[in-house]
Amino acid sequence: MKYKRILLKLSGESLMGEKQFGIDNERIHAYAKQIKEIRNNGHEIAIVIGGGNIFRGVQAEKGGMDRTHGDYMGMLATMINAMALQAALESNGVHTRLQSSIEMKAIAEPFIRRKAVRHLEKGRVVIFGAGTGSPFFTTDSAASLRAIEINADVILKGTRVDGIYSADPEKDKTATKFDDITFDDVYKKGLNVMDFTAFTLCKENNLPIIVFDMDTPGNLEKVLSGEAIGTVVHN
């Protein structure tokens, strides 16, 4: 098995499905089924989820709100998503643990690295909520940081598009897809994979990233079985 322990990064927007806001139940249950498939294949799974379907600190700042305040609100939005995903997974018979970077005793464990690793070893899916717990850091940075801390073999970034393109494929029909690309080439071409902090963390720690379309049922399992789906970013 090439990638035994994985960190799956999901955007908050992906949970909206066809909606304009909030959480689409069908979409979240479809994700839960895909995650269950790979768990049953013996993979150890950690998940970081964004909060953009509910609230974004950066947008709040544009409206005159203090950025730090807005970012903490964004972290709470990720916890709502994390709890929704936890409920969907458990209704599909998958044991999960939710860990938060901000202490919330009633709903989540605090983030403790050794505890998280122990959960993974026991076959539980671990969801990391509340980003890094610090303002000014994106959930992409949280995903990179947590993946490195738990010694994940790869970050799987589930998106709406099936990989990394030379331009936005939704706007530019001439955009070409990369099957694999180096971290250095992503820098040189100015491609948008993750924010700079998150991306640099992965590069420096030799942690590959696979960007793929999570919305197509079965894709998560295909990526991990070695099929040429998505784009692999590596050193």
Q: Where are the beta strands (DSSP E) in 53-190?
A: 96-100, 109-110, 125-129, 154-159, 164-165, 177-178, 180-182
CA 11 to chain centre: 6
Residues 124-174 have pLDDT tens digits of: 999 999 999 999 999 999 999 999 999 999 999 999 889 999 998 888 889
Domain CATH number, residue 18 = 3.40.1160.10
Find the radius of gyration of the CA atoms of the chain. Answer: 17
> Domains in the chain: how many in total?
1
The least confident of 56-60, 120-124, 165-169, 213-217 is 56-60
Task: Check residue 42 and give its pLDDT.
Answer: 97
Rounded to two decimals, the pTM is: 0.96
Among 24, 33, 30, residue whose Cα is nearest residue 53: 24
| Cβ(160)–Cβ(213) below 8 Å | yes
Quote the domain boundaries for residue 166.
5-234
In angstroms, the Cα distances linking 39 to 16, 85, 225 are 24, 15, 13
The predicted-structure confidence for 73-94, as pLDDT tens digits, reads as follows 999 999 999 999 999 999 999 9
